[in-house]
A and B are shown apart, each in its own frame.
Chain A
Amino acid sequence: MNLFCIGLSHHTANVKTLEQLAGNATAESVKRQAGCAEALLLTTCNRVEVYAVSDKRLSTDEIARCLVGRTNRDVHNYAPPLYRYDDHKCVQHLFRVASGLDSMVVGESEIFGQAKKAYESARTSGAVGPYLHRLFQRAFRVAKQVRTHTEIARGAVSVGSVAVELAQRIFGNLSECKVLMLGAGETSERTARALVSRGVTDLRVSNRSFDRACELAQAVGGRAVPFDEWAVQCREIDILLTSTASETPLLTPDKLAPMVRERLDRPLFIIDIAVPRDVDPGVNELEGVYLYDIDSIRSVAEQSLALRRQQVAAAEAIIANHVTEFVDSISRGLNRLSQAAKHPSLGENPLRASEL
């Protein structure tokens, strides 16, 4: 039995190349066209990979032809070339992919769901047999173990997720938090949506154009507030999300200090994603005020990524153990298979004998 993985990922191809290969084939079509015993197709925005098992060795070009499919192009036009992992390297690669170690953002968890979906799809179409079943089940187990036993998925890496993470570290439960969104930028809207998804129910939107504020409030499930009232709102709110096009800071320590004195026991979290900044950096010196501008959010995201990268070695060690164990169990299964072949009276199904 030959176990292999052939594909492209963000390491070796640009988005255009990935787009050209994505969506042309299914696990079932690869299995049928290439003559594999089993096949599974993992397609995400960052990778297109075929995991397959075959009795005889199949060439990379044969699989590439299946991937190119109806676009009918010469596979060699796609640079960089497809990579290939065989046997234990394939096992190791899949374990790394499922654990998020091979992702563009190290430790991201989306790939886990995508791999599960790909497995389910291939299983439903009958393209997956006992080999890939066992391989993927083990991959999911390894991914869970890596996430539980390392800090690989710790910390947020996008503006929205950093804002949510910080808000949760300040307030805990966000359902009681009052949020004011000042300005109507795209990032600001995404951040507001992220906060709403984590339980924020009191969201106020203020913009120089009241119509735009109403429109945005409706889109994010908040309520519009006239722009000249935003300073008054600052006395009530817990989180201020600002992204106006103002040339000068709207909020200065002098303006905010009296408000802070009135709310000494309640922290105020300010996310300033405007350029130039809407909030004077000196505001961060005020008691109970936590100001994050786009630079500090980026810095937090980088720290999270650095923290994740520190955990790669620990994750690799977990994966290495599982690869060795998994490959050993396959070898034991194949030995039993060859013994069964010498003694047909045992009458075992080859795939069951290998007990993959």
Chain B
Amino acid sequence: MDRYLLIASTICFLAAVVHTVIELRKGVFRPIRFNFFAIGLGFIFQTGFLWIRGQELERCPITNLFEVFAFLAWSVALVYMLVGPVYRLSLMGAFTAPLVLLLQGFALIAPIDVRHPAQIAANSWLEFHASISLVAYGAFALACIAGVMYLLQERQLKTHQLHSIFYHLPPLTNLFAAITRLLWWGFALYTVGIVSGFFTGHPLPRIQVVAAIALWLLYAAILQARHLKWLAPRRVAALCIIGFSAALALLWGITFSAELHPVP
């Protein structure tokens, strides 16, 4: 049952992507209402999936890679629903939907929904650590999306080649403000996530700790460079994409190592 909800959610995000592609092919780019409702509905189905899975497991549903990807996709949609309206909901939706589709599509297709043979005991600190970190990843994902939008807009302005999408993307200054705020939110949440990891009562694998701190340092460096105006906005936008790619790789590594060496 829960899997069907995730499939329904994925179909909603697919519809948003298809709609955007069709509009682009027509040379018209007005995915405002449709994308909003499609993503909103997809978010409701995602929430339903996590709720049912959580009830079944009697804990936060992030016990395997499948659930982690679903939770991450939910976090991306959640952050988008929270910040999207401020920065041109429709356009960010057009860029968010493909990412969520990719995450959920992979989770559904890959054979990664492996249930643990024994019920994993609830650990509120561990669940808090994992869930808050994933929401932070959602903010980093949105910063990455805003970064892609920034680079796209910047490229068109530099080369003087303006396409239909140019007129629908937010101004560079607004995009950069969005990137900065999303980075700060993501960084704050991730800091809370890392700190809470030390209260789980279990020794964490050293490689996970080192990688998590390395990622934290990367985002801290980006924010510091932004604050001191050492980096041009274009480079900050590019670093957001690199940072989120690193975050995804780290997430993969952490989940795999957790599956190999489960916390008792």
Contact = CB atoms under 8 A, between A and B. Distances in A.
Question: Which of B173, B174, B231 gathers the greatest number of chain A CB atoms within 10 Å?
Answer: B173
A154 B232 contact: no
B233 A265 contact: yes
Contact of A151 (B28, B153, B226, B233): B28
Nearest to A176: B173
Contacts of A300: 160, 162
A333 B47 CA distance: 55
A155 B29 CA distance: 13
A267 interface: yes
Contacts of B27: 151, 307, 310-311
B158 A290 contact: yes
A287 B234 contact: yes
A349 interface: no
Interface string A287-312: 11010100010011001100100110
A126 interface: no
Interface string A256-273: 000000001101000000
Contacts, number: 67
Interface stretch (A51-59, A88-96, A164-172, A215-223): A164-172
Interface string A13-56: 00000000000000000000000000000000000000000000
B157 interface: yes
Contacts of A284: 158
Given A154-B164, A284-B158, A311-B28, A267 B173 contact: yes
B28 A314 contact: yes
B167 interface: yes
Contacts of A155: 162, 167
B162 A303 contact: yes
A227 to B, nearest CB: 29
Interface in B170-206: 170-174, 176
A169 B164 contact: no
A150 interface: yes
A303 B174 contact: no
A310 B28 CA distance: 10
A210 B259 CA distance: 75
Interface string A116-144: 00000000000000000000000000000
B231 A264 contact: yes
A151 B164 contact: yes
B157 A166 contact: yes
A172 B160 contact: no
B26 interface: yes
Interface in B208-238: 226, 229-234
B166 interface: yes
B161 interface: yes
Contacts of B170: 172
Given A299-B160, A303-B162, A307-B164, A169 B26 contact: no
B230 A264 contact: yes
Contacts of A299: 160
Contacts of B164: 151, 154, 307
Given A265-B232, A287-B234, A172 B173 contact: yes
Interface string B19-31: 0000000111110
A284 B158 CA distance: 7
Nearest to B232: A287
A284 B159 CA distance: 9
29 contacts: A149-B28, A151-B27, A154-B164, A154-B167, A155-B162, A155-B167, A169-B166, A169-B167, A169-B172, A170-B157, A171-B171, A172-B171, A172-B174, A264-B231, A264-B232, A265-B226, A265-B233, A267-B172, A287-B234, A288-B232, A288-B234, A290-B158, A292-B160, A300-B160, A300-B162, A303-B161, A304-B162, A311-B28, A314-B28
Interface of A: 149-151, 154-155, 166, 168-172, 264-265, 267, 284, 287-288, 290, 292, 296, 299-300, 303-304, 307, 310-311, 314
Given A171-B173, A264-B232, 17 more contacts: A149-B28, A150-B28, A151-B27, A151-B29, A166-B157, A170-B172, A171-B171, A171-B172, A172-B174, A265-B229, A265-B232, A267-B173, A288-B233, A288-B234, A292-B160, A304-B162, A311-B28
Q: 3 nearest interchain CB pairs?
A: A172-B171, A287-B232, A296-B160
